[in-house]
């Protein structure tokens, strides 16, 4: 489980960095998440990255 957790943390971090590089305006990312029908591709990668990092941390801790 530790290996899977580390892989998820690294992958999630990569997604987070890639999404941040697509649109580096945090206000626009948050606005696109809350608006239905309008999303920036960077926001989707940031959300996926955050979820992967959290799941990876849980797997490492358990």
Closest to 53 (Cα-Cα) out of 8, 21, 2, 3: 8
- Ranges of the chain whose pLDDT falls below 70: 23-26, 28-29, 32-33, 36-39
Which pLDDT belongs to residue 13? Answer: 93
Which pLDDT belongs to residue 45? Answer: 86
Which pLDDT belongs to residue 8? Answer: 94
Domain ranges of the chain: 2-61
pLDDT digit string, tens, across residues 44-55: 888 899 999 999
- CA dist 53 and 24 (Å) reads 20
Which pLDDT belongs to residue 50? Answer: 92
Coil, strand or helix: which one is 22?
helix
The rounded Cα 1 to chain-centroid distance in angstroms is 20
Q: pTM of the entire structure?
A: 0.74
């Amino acid at each position: 489980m530790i290996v899977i957790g580390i892989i998820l943390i690294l992958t999630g971090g990569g997604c987070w960095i890639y999404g941040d590089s697509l649109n580096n305006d945090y206000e626009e990312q948050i606005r696109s998440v809350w608006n239905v029908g309008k999303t920036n591709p960077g926001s989707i990668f940031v959300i996926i990255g955050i979820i992967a990092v959290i799941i990876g941390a849980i797997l490492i801790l358990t």
